[in-house]
Amino acid sequence: MNDFDLVILGAGSGGYAAALRGAQLGLSVELIEKEKVGGTCLHKGCIPTKALLHAGEIADNTKHAAEFGVKATFISMDMLAVNAYKDGVISKLHKGLQGLVKSRNINFVEGHGKLVGKNQVEVNGTVYTGKNIILATGSYPKTLPGLEIDGKQIVTSEEAMSFDYVPKSVIVLGGGVIGCEFASVWNSFGSEVTIIEGLPRLVALEDESSSKQLERAFRKRGINFEVGVKFASATKDKKGVTVTLENGAKHTADVLLVAVGRGPVSANLGYEEQGITMDRGYVMVDEKCRTNVPGIWAVGDLIPTLQLAHVGFAEGILVAEEIAGLNPRAINYDGVPRVTYSEPEVASVGLTTAVAKERGYDVVELSYDLAGNGKANILKTAGSIKLVAQKNGPVLGVHMVGSRVGELLAEGQLIYNWEADANDVASLIHAHPTLSEAMGEAHLALAGKPLHAHG
Ligand SMILES: Cc1cc2nc3c(=O)[nH]c(=O)nc-3n(C[C@H](O)[C@H](O)[C@H](O)COP(=O)(O)OP(=O)(O)OC[C@H]3O[C@@H](n4cnc5c(N)ncnc54)[C@H](O)[C@@H]3O)c2cc1C
């Protein structure tokens, strides 16, 4: 029996979420994966990088222990042990996920799949038929013309996360989320780091104020960066890699990390042959993730929405529920929480000031400095919570910089998605002393009644 309600190609965040939810709703599910269930996020993305960042945080804490009255000496990183810790986390989560897939009676097939009909996927010479097909083949790390990845001196995030040594120096090409996270890791591990970014600022999709604060914090940490300059060429020799920029500047380092974005995995998979509308390799979908071909859906990094694991989960769940007839609400992508897990973290939800103005809102802004927050002082972190709001209306955006602010985003997303205004949040009591208090204080100030702030 090779006929299913749902045949899913790719078992990353988007694909496996659709499988789990589909099975929960009583659909028969076939899940096809050429590598490992969990995809990029679990094996080559979110989880390994966050483990490296945590190891970096411990290194930094050790280096700065004396500031907190603790005597400790940082000797060096033991990358074999770091990788063992990181791989242990991945392995545990992978086993858990495999168990979950099995327990939901999902038919998991390992192999390279190809769409061979409007309702058919072929794997290892067997054709599986689905009343519905979900394409979830994800993304790959892009490079630039003339920049060949050798996996040793010129690498992508995939090789970078398993280095068995700490490079003395690194150039990070690309100051987006992935570039900034690796810059942060390597700085903590002891490398000399230089970021090159073509756009005018680091994490350029964030509110301008967040970029400025991250840049200030990185400068303080000794992370070098050049923004608004384009890459021209790279040459290699035994000593390292030399990058030449269009402005003529040259930088040399042991390693060049190419973090210039990720492109969709869609070539030679039969998508065009079945008449699916594509754009630059992305599969085009409507607000319910339907392609133009009836019965074929697409989710995750393969479609041109935010490339985030939790977006993949949400899209996978959306499609499974739509197929099962639950008529779920379309995703509001502005309401998706976004975090760069560098030190300090950058976290946001909703609209930036620039986008809110573009959309015609009468905007008011409020920035609450973490200097006024007890817990931030205990942690010795700097940063702020910036609110973008409609004048006499709801909060339109929450933008935060500081250690651990990603954890505050749970409240930020409720505020944005439930269209709370300043008074709604100001009336809620936040525990003292927590970083979350800064969220309350920011709204108190926005409501015109600042407590621990001048206003
Ligand atoms: C370094 C890095 C750090 C990241 N950190 C975060 C983070 O902290 N938070 C966050 O939310 N997001 C993060 N992301 C992004 C996140 O990993 C992706 O958004 C998410 O994995 C996308 O899920 P997906 O299911 O669309 O694709 P993927 O996870 O890429 O899964 C696609 C799957 O399809 C399989 N596949 C492809 N072609 C075929 C085929 N022909 N046959 C069978 N199988 C196939 C692949 O092997 C893969 O397992 C990070 C990404 C990277 C690279």
Give 3 Cα–ligand 1 centroid separation in angstroms: 26
- Is the beta carbon of 32 within 6 A of some atom in ligand 1? yes
Length of the chain: 455
Task: Classify residue 148 as exposed, middle or buried by CB count within 10 Å of its CB (0-12, 13-18, 19+).
Answer: exposed
pLDDT for position 18? 98
pLDDT for position 453? 75
Question: Can you give the pLDDT of all 455 residues of the chain as single tens digits?
Answer: 699 999 999 999 999 999 999 999 999 999 999 999 999 999 999 999 999 999 999 999 999 999 999 999 999 999 999 999 999 999 999 999 999 999 999 999 999 999 999 999 999 999 999 999 999 999 999 999 989 999 999 999 999 999 999 999 999 999 999 999 999 999 999 999 999 999 999 999 999 999 999 999 999 999 999 999 999 999 999 889 999 999 999 999 999 999 999 999 999 999 999 999 999 999 999 999 999 999 999 999 999 999 999 999 999 999 999 999 999 999 999 999 999 999 999 999 999 999 999 999 999 999 999 999 999 999 999 999 999 999 999 999 999 999 999 999 999 999 999 999 999 999 999 999 999 999 999 999 999 999 987 65
Give 71 Cα–ligand 1 centroid separation in angstroms: 41
Instruction: Report residue 327 as tokens.
Output: 């008529």
Candidate of 36, 42, 46 to mutate for ligand 1, largest count of ligand atoms within 8 Å of Cβ: 46
The secondary structure of 23-44 as a DSSP string is: HHTT--EEEEESS-TTHHHHHH
Q: Whose CA is nearest to atom 35 of ligand 1?
A: 10
Q: Give all strands (DSSP E) within 111-211, no chain letters.
A: 113-117, 120-123, 126-135, 139-141, 154-155, 169-173, 192-197
pLDDT for position 238? 87
The pTM for the full model equals: 0.98
| End-to-end C-alpha distance for the chain, whole angstroms | 69
At 441, which helix (H) or strand (E)? helix 436-446
Alpha-carbon span 216 to 189, nearest angstrom: 20
- What is the atom index within ligand 1 of the atom nearest the CA of 35? 47
Cβ pair 304, 282 in contact under 8 A: yes
- pLDDT (tens digit per residue) in 258-270: 999 999 999 999 9
- Is the beta carbon of 9 within 6 A of some atom in ligand 1? yes
Q: Is 121 left (phi over 0), alpha (psi -120 to 50) or beta?
A: beta
Please state whether beta strands 363-369 and 296-298 pair in parallel, antiparallel, or not at all (unpaired). Answer: unpaired
Give 422 Cα–ligand 1 centroid separation in angstroms: 37
Give 398 Cα–ligand 1 centroid separation in angstroms: 27
> Active-site positions?
432
Give 42 Cα–ligand 1 centroid separation in angstroms: 8
Cβ pair 315, 16 in contact under 8 A: no
Q: Whose CA is nearest to atom 38 of ligand 1?
A: 137
**Residue listed under structure tokens 């979950």:** 100
Handedness of CA 200, 206, 209, 212 (dihedral sign): negative
- pLDDT (tens digit per residue) in 397-436: 999 999 999 999 999 999 999 999 999 999 999 999 999 9
Question: DSSP alpha helices (H): ranges in 175-304?
Answer: 177-189, 208-221
- Is the beta carbon of 307 within 6 A of some atom in ligand 1? yes
Please compute, for residue 309, the number of CA atoms within 13 A of its CA located in the half-sphere on the CB side.
15
